Structure 1
Amino acid sequence: MASAASHVSFLPPILTFCGAAVIAVPLFRLIGLSAVLGYLAAGIAIGPSGLSLVGDPQTIATVAELGVVLLLFIIGLELKLSHLWSMKRDIFGLGLAQMALTALCLGGASLAVGLSPNAAFVIGIAMALSATAIALQMLGERNDLQTPYGQRSFAILLFQDLSVVPVLAILPLLASGMAVENGSIVDRLLVTAEALAAIAAVVLVGRYGLNPFFRILARTGSREVMTASALLVVLGAALLMEEVGLSMAMGAFLAGLLLAESNFRHQLEADIEPFRGMLLGLFFMSVGMSIDLALVREQWMLLAVAAPVVILGKTLLITVLSRFFGATWREGLRSGTLLCTAGEFAFVLLPVALSAGLMLPKDVQIVTALAAITMLLGPIFSTLVEKALLSRPERADEHGEDDLPGQEGELSSRVLVIGFGRFGQIVNQVLLSQSINATVIDNNVERVRDAARFGLKIYYGDGTRLDVLRAAGAEKAEMICICTNDPDTIERIAEILHENFPNARSFVRAYDRIHAVRLLKIGVDYQLRETFESAIVFGRSALEELGVDAETAASCAQDVRKRDIARLFLQKEIGAMGGAELVVGARIEPEPLTSPTAKAKALSPETRDILGEGVL
């Protein structure tokens, strides 16, 4: 039997990471800096160059990389193939131009300081890449991913991720002096065929298999099973891509992209988000731990010159190129500062170059330290520039192109409808009559499938979960309509909305009068009892059938509405009997709050007559 110590041996590093994060991140957010910087600083503090609480950063590197994988999956969920196609000019135009020019400039600078051409090529490519995790995390914190500059920045990052695969294939060719034998050509063709087959498999399964798969699991009603299935899809796609020589992150992105049209996208995003946040923080800490402070002290002069050159040079190039592709100078500068760091894949390319003999070990150590330092200083630079730009309002003549095409998806919907039963369906019909495409979520799988038969797109999701509401775009919605049919569920959702989304107007379906009063006390903006209006219309039609003219019947119905509204608010303030005198036809007689236990006795001749006791 294993000893007790072996069962808890994994606890010290976990406690170390959690303790470092909960101390560093709030401190950095308190002084107005990004959470990314807090994680990086925490990694430096607990790493080999700091307190040495974690001796070998490589032990967590593999697990930490899963944070980037999950991040790319969520980004894929937020896109659509049509949206991606509309970004082709920025992906393959702006992205290619940034990659080529940045690699050429930084590679040329490396060649100028005496490095070999092969080493200069590797350094140029490695430093031209940008930190996807850092950039997307900062865009998320600023809520800017759907802005024009956010979309262009993402297009550049996407091209960079796509370029990693051919770059990794080129490095062995450089090592062999471009001498390729016939056998190696066949091998490479086989590897290429395997990669294409794996991509085709992911596409086919994602297109035809995942929706039925998630529909079956959702019928079980088990939240844990849905979470496990989401992780299975993400990690399975990532592992398959890695097995055929592609990037795990790209596999996860492809899986997310294929599920972007799925009815389960919001639920999947909510299930993955907690894992993404924790593992991404771990990734940033692993980057901080990789910084060798002893090497930094030894080569401080070189790094003190190289780091600003990389950061400022990449900022300038991306700013100018973004302007050339239609952005304003302001938007270009925001993209430039966001992407001025080296990327995560630099830590992949440099060891490969070392093992292939393209670079010397000392050069690899210096460039690795340089990449980590840019990832530490870049977010600080970006934050300072962002604050400076926000302090200067954008002039009307500085606006560039309108929003990029394809941005008007569900995440930017003005209205979020929760519940698609008989009540929610009618509400949605009214909204659609004015071309308002609301995002609709419902936790009934059959209802989701039936809606598709009528050409309606609704998503599977539990409206009582805050993370699902966030994933469905509640933070950006102008109005949130609660149309479910369970009073307790309605109140629970209303409380979540009141506490977390105060800027969205809440329109809520009430079950009865008592339920409506409780909703008013929660603070909803509008409530309506599910049978109230139908009863009003019913009664008005009855009056007309009995010979009352239409105008008088309508006036009577409106009078009942007004009395009911006034009574509701009086009941909210006073209690159940508040406004009782407003009920049409009511005859209110005073009653004791409790029945008397003793018989009343007359105290005077007058009261004896009232009580009928007569004269003694």
Structure 2
Amino acid sequence: MAGELGGQGFHDALVILGAAGVVIPAFARIRISPVIGFILVGATIGPAGLGALAGDHPWLASITITDRERIEPFAEIGILMLLFGIGLELSFRRLWAMRGKVFGLGGLQMMVTGFLLGLGLLFGLGLSAPAAAILGLALAMSSTALVMPLAGTASTTGQIALAILLLQDLSLVPLLLVLDAKSSPDALLQVLLGGILVIGALLLIGRFLLWRLFAQAARTKSPELFLAISLLVVMLASLATGSVGLGAVLGALIAGLLIAETDYHAEVEVITAPLRGLALGIFLITVGMRLDLAEVLAVWPQLIVATALVLIVKALVIFSLLRWRKNRRGTAVETGLLMASPSELTLIVLASALAAGVVSASTAAFWTLVTAFGLTLTPLLAAAGRRMARRVDPQALASGVSDTSGVTLIFGFGRVGRIVADMMAEHGRPYFAVDGDIDCVASAREQGYKVIFGDVARGDAVERFGLCDSAALVLTMDDPVLTVRLSREVRAACPDLTVVARARDGQHAAQLYKAGATDAVPETMEGSLQISEAVLVDIGVAMGPVIASIHEKRSQLRAQIREAGQLAEEPALGRRR
């Protein structure tokens, strides 16, 4: 059957999808990053794991992958989709505002880290000067594919990491050009000129044609058409930049930036999210396949020492640069540990250096192993960084949010969020608001509201905003799925926290109660009650009895909704009255 439907490629796709179906829910249940799960699965089912036994045990062939090269193209698509997702969360305005960090902080990090690592390789291992320089710069890179999903782009740490990673991604182009035996100043000039023309053409197309395509898709109300157009834009932009030597990843980033400037970026982000997550999982599985247990055991002392030295040098350099630039100690610690491991781009540079004869096969194999091992440690380093940041800088969260102990947090700052903030201020209660619309945040801050920019849908909101220490959480976003998910996550982590959520209707309110919300307020119900109150007063009924009856009716309706959500008697909600 597999042969009829595409042979080994179809088989590999089934294995990967099956692995994703097991890893994501299993590791989510035990509250461990699925990143580690994907890497471990890759090491287990890959050609260096159970795949090596498939010849002697044919039944293993159905659940293993025996040739890593076959799924490498899918891993590259995963990286493209990741850069596309980053572009969706940015905009040209935000990117322009980050130019100082990208070329200043990012450039310093690459030069200082590459220089120090290169010196160690030159004098410590006796590599040639060209090999030490190239390998030092390659190891100075950090993993965009792992760091950004862990950090997001809303926190201070995530914004700093993004600036450094953008410079590293851009630096891949000149590095590969240097390694190309045929490269020359003329070739570099040709790439630059071609890049300017291609990027200019993409910007013009995005400015005048892209919104028309998505407008037509919106009229059809077809999610499939949205997805198809999004993938088409990513692939065409990646092919265009790749054809002139700039690299396909830059094209994917530009595609995301172009769509981010349209009114349809939120819809595209939601529709493409599952595909981006799956593509990233495939990439992580290929990283795991590079971990050959036999090779690791043969060189484990050298592997541990080399990995530790790379991690220490990178973490100290990033920490020092951030402190020099007056960043908080906690932010510097978290960012340094988060970005200490090598990158998937390191593997690309190593392969090119081996092909160009700059490094030997044994050197390339060893540092490939170091890179894969370091990538496996990234989620652990990120978690350690968050914990250490809170210890060394307890007065501020690494996300840039001040201490939220005793403060009411408001997620979403549209019309509903503003009214809640006004009422909190009226009664002298401290609050802090978070919203993902930068224009809304800027406008609100100008008017004196305490609000910051942040995407609560990404990362661990409980840790980023210190929810368990806050007085209450108010969810006012007009996103029913996200509101239910946050209610469930917050209740699991903070059983005693008061969570009040905005609901679209009674059915949505019942879902929120089931997810753990203390109170869910349906807009339709409140609107009906206010209309009833206004009508009764206007036709001459006394205000006192009207208000009493409205309160009684509200309590009755909430009781019915709780019963529908089957939560009336569940003590695990931890509701505070």
TM-score range, shorter chain: 0.7 to 0.9
1: CA distance, partners of 2:457 / 2:193: 40
Residue equivalent to 1:291? 291
Mapped contact 1:497–1:506 kept (Cα < 8 A):
no
Residue equivalent to 2:308? 308
2: CA distance, partners of 1:18 / 1:266: 26
Check if 1:38 corresponds to 2:31: no
2: CA distance, partners of 1:494 / 1:111: 54
2: CA distance, partners of 1:148 / 1:572: 40
* Counterpart among 78, 84, 103 of residue 95 in structure 2: 84
Q: Residue by residue, what CA displacement relative to the aligned partner does 1:118-142 show, whole Å, maximum 9, x if unpaired?
A: 11111011111111111112225xx
Check if 1:68 corresponds to 2:113: no
Residue equivalent to 1:564? 550
Change in CA separation of 1:480 and 1:128 when aligned onto 2, cut-off 3 Å: same
Residue equivalent to 1:51? 50
Q: Residue by residue, what CA displacement relative to the aligned partner does 1:350-398 show, whole Å, maximum 9, x if unpaired?
A: 22222222222222222212211221234334434544555x37343x7
Q: Residue by residue, what CA displacement relative to the aligned partner does 1:471-502 show, whole Å, maximum 9, x if unpaired?
A: 8x99999332669xxxxxx9x99978876787
Change in CA separation of 1:521 and 1:97 when aligned onto 2, cut-off 3 Å: closer
TM-score normalized with structure 1 length:
0.70
Residue equivalent to 2:211? 211
Q: Residue by residue, what CA displacement relative to the aligned partner does 1:517-550 show, whole Å, maximum 9, x if unpaired?
A: 9899986325446465456546655x6xxxxxxx
Counterpart of 1:5 in 2: which secondary structure? coil
2: CA distance, partners of 1:574 / 1:231: 45
How many residues are paired up?
Answer: 499
2: CA distance, partners of 1:470 / 1:371: 30
Matching residue's letter, 2:40: A
Q: Residue by residue, what CA displacement relative to the aligned partner does 1:156-212 show, whole Å, maximum 9, x if unpaired?
A: 11111111112222223xx57x9x5xxx72x54333222111111221222222222
Counterpart of 1:210 in 2: which secondary structure? helix
Mapped contact 1:69–1:249 kept (Cα < 8 A):
yes
Matching residue's letter, 2:129: P
- Deviation of 1:309 after TM superposition, in Å, equals 0.8
Change in CA separation of 1:536 and 1:320 when aligned onto 2, cut-off 3 Å: same
Change in CA separation of 1:215 and 1:301 when aligned onto 2, cut-off 3 Å: same
Matching residue's letter, 1:566: E
Change in CA separation of 1:431 and 1:505 when aligned onto 2, cut-off 3 Å: closer
Mapped contact 2:417–2:476 kept (Cα < 8 A):
no
Residue equivalent to 1:158? 166
2: CA distance, partners of 1:388 / 1:433: 36
Matching residue's letter, 1:414: G
1: CA distance, partners of 2:483 / 2:297: 56
Q: 1:33-432 to 2 correspondence within 5 Å?
A: 33-52=32-51, 53-112=64-123, 113-140=125-152, 145-172=153-180, 175=181, 180=184, 185=186, 187-390=187-390, 392=391, 394-396=393-395, 414-415=412-413
Structure 2 residues without counterparts, runs of 5 or longer: 52-63, 403-409, 426-432, 438-442, 444-454, 466-472, 492-497, 562-577
Counterpart of 2:341 in 1: which secondary structure? coil
Matching residue's letter, 1:525: V
Mapped contact 2:238–2:251 kept (Cα < 8 A):
yes
Mapped contact 2:87–2:256 kept (Cα < 8 A):
yes
Change in CA separation of 1:538 and 1:115 when aligned onto 2, cut-off 3 Å: same
RMSD: 4.3
Change in CA separation of 1:138 and 1:498 when aligned onto 2, cut-off 3 Å: closer
Mapped contact 2:331–2:389 kept (Cα < 8 A):
no
1: CA distance, partners of 2:210 / 2:326: 38
Change in CA separation of 1:515 and 1:22 when aligned onto 2, cut-off 3 Å: closer
- Deviation of 1:299 after TM superposition, in Å, equals 3.5
2: CA distance, partners of 1:380 / 1:469: 22
- Deviation of 1:506 after TM superposition, in Å, equals 3.5
Structure 1 residues without counterparts, runs of 5 or longer: 405-411, 418-426, 441-455, 457-467, 484-489, 544-552, 576-616
Counterpart of 1:525 in 2: which secondary structure? strand
Change in CA separation of 1:517 and 1:570 when aligned onto 2, cut-off 3 Å: farther
Counterpart of 2:344 in 1: which secondary structure? coil
Change in CA separation of 1:170 and 1:494 when aligned onto 2, cut-off 3 Å: closer
- Deviation of 1:104 after TM superposition, in Å, equals 0.6
2: CA distance, partners of 1:43 / 1:515: 42
- Greater mean alpha carbon deviation, residues 530-539 or residues 318-327: 530-539
TM-score normalized with structure 2 length:
0.74
2: CA distance, partners of 1:91 / 1:4: 47
2: CA distance, partners of 1:121 / 1:16: 39
- Deviation of 1:82 after TM superposition, in Å, equals 2.6
- Greater mean alpha carbon deviation, residues 527-536 or residues 324-333: 527-536
Matching residue's letter, 1:524: A
2: CA distance, partners of 1:361 / 1:15: 33
1: CA distance, partners of 2:286 / 2:244: 26
Q: 1:425-504 to 2 correspondence within 5 Å?
A: 470=457, 478-480=474-476
- Deviation of 1:110 after TM superposition, in Å, equals 1.4
- Deviation of 1:331 after TM superposition, in Å, equals 1.6
Counterpart of 2:112 in 1: which secondary structure? helix
Change in CA separation of 1:385 and 1:530 when aligned onto 2, cut-off 3 Å: closer
Matching residue's letter, 2:39: L
2: CA distance, partners of 1:329 / 1:294: 41
Q: Aligned residues: percent identity?
A: 29
State which structure, 1 or 2, has the greater radius of gyration over its C-alpha atoms.
Answer: 1
1: CA distance, partners of 2:143 / 2:482: 38
- Deviation of 1:262 after TM superposition, in Å, equals 2.1
